[in-house]
Amino acid sequence: MMVAIAQASLLKTFALQIHESGMNLASIDIPELGFRNINALFENDESSTALIYIQEKSTNLVISRQKTLYLTRRLDWGLDVLLSQQADEEASHHYLDVLALEIQRSFDYYQSQWRTLVPSRVLLAPVKSSAVDIAAYLSQRLSIKVQNLNLNEVLSSDINLDFDLQNRSLAIIGGALHKEISAHAAN
């Protein structure tokens, strides 16, 4: 079970600001559901998909299957820790080992709770450049291919979705996919 809590007065303030700007508010979502929508773009079978989204100060792991969110986990460290250790390759590898261990623990929990296989697709959301190839490092540690997410492969856009824009806007892009993913899930 997942519970999302928000202060109603804060949501009303945001909704009023959106309305006053001339836009129509269609829905309010939590980032994890946006990440589930991103995963859904890559789901073409009954296998599970995992998304690892490393942000400045946190890392999110989202596992979905057939457009349904099964597990979400947030780690309270992100690129800030990894990038601060770039000069020290051993320290960088230590943090990536910790990340790989936490991802493996999440996969084990997912597998035991839902009696299903670990995700067959693991996507790494675009991250700022690092001295370490994070996808390759995690692939080696997890013994499963981790691929860098590139939304240009699955979305058409009038603007180039460079990796920096994808990283900054991933939850927003996922939220914008809400109706499309929900319509396909209903079929």
Task: Rounding to the nearest 10 degrees, give the CA dihedral for residues 165, 63, 70, 180.
Answer: 40
Q: What is the mean pLDDT of the chain?
A: 89
pTM for this predicted structure: 0.87
Mean pLDDT computed over 33-62 = 94
Residue whose token pair is 């829905």: 27
Confidence of residue 43 (pLDDT cuts 50, 70, 90): very high
Give the chain's count of helices (H) and strands (E).
7, 5
pLDDT score, position 54: 92
Residue 118: DSSP 8-state: P
Asked if residue 35 lies in contact with residue 171, where contact means CB atoms within 8 angstroms, the answer is yes
CA distance 74 to 133: 21
Residue 131: pLDDT band (50, 70, 90) is: low
Q: How confident is the model at residue 153 (pLDDT cuts 50, 70, 90)?
A: very high
Task: Please compute the mean of the pLDDT values over residues 16-28 and round it to a whole number.
Answer: 90
- How much is the pLDDT for 130? 65
The strand pair at 121-124 and 68-75 is best described as: unpaired
Give the Cβ contact number of residue 71 at 10 Å: 20
* Percentage with pLDDT > 70 across the chain: 91
